[in-house]
Amino acid sequence: MDIVKGNMGWIEVVVGPMFSGKSEELIRRLRRAEIARQRVQIFKPAIDSRYTANEIVSHSGLGIPSDNVSKASEILEKLQARTEVVGIDEAQFLGDEVVEVCTKLANLGKRVIVAGLDTDYRGRPICVRCGNPAVHTQRLVDSEELIVVGATEMYEARCRRCFEPNPAQARKEAGPVIVARSRGAASGGA
């Protein structure tokens, strides 16, 4: 195996359901980085105050100090220049922006270790349209709100191909739909 020297960053993702050891694995990797004398910064969503306010804590009681953020972009604002490893727990609470933030961090040469849930509470990672692995939650109702509480009548799991990022906005931008009919079809095909 060749070792690449320099400012090459990467992203490590730890996913799974609740109680699967995600936070414990995140803590283990971050502790190893600290043992290796790497500069580590750790973040968690401010909304997650289950055990303590300023610490990531696993269900088994293992903990490590962390900074709270309300949104993913705050990680970039709080990042110290000399940080080498960035840990992020409960990434699902930081929204889609966390993907862009992790990419920016890796592009800056940081090792990014992120943990979070990989399915909803029903465990549905399968696209309801075509059966492929689903990676997106499709909203089925028109709303510009970030959070809309609902169930199967409002959301469904979809793969990348079937996912429509913002169908309400797309319909608005497309304008009215004009249906043209030929005379032959209208008069019975004569």
Do residues 112 and 86 lie in contact, with contact meaning Cβ atoms separated by under 8 Å?
yes
Per-residue tokens: 121: 């509470």
Cα gap 127→162, rounded to integer Å: 8
Cα gap 31→23, rounded to integer Å: 12
Cα gap 45→56, rounded to integer Å: 10
- β-pairing, 67-69 vs 40-45, is parallel
From the list 12, 74, 90, 153, the catalytic residue is: 90
Q: Is 90 among the catalytic positions?
A: yes
CA distances from residue 92 to 17, 47, 146, 170, 181 in whole angstroms, order as listed: 12, 11, 14, 25, 47
Do residues 116 and 25 lie in contact, with contact meaning Cβ atoms separated by under 8 Å?
no
H or E element in which residue 104 lies: helix 97-107
Residues serving a catalytic function are 90
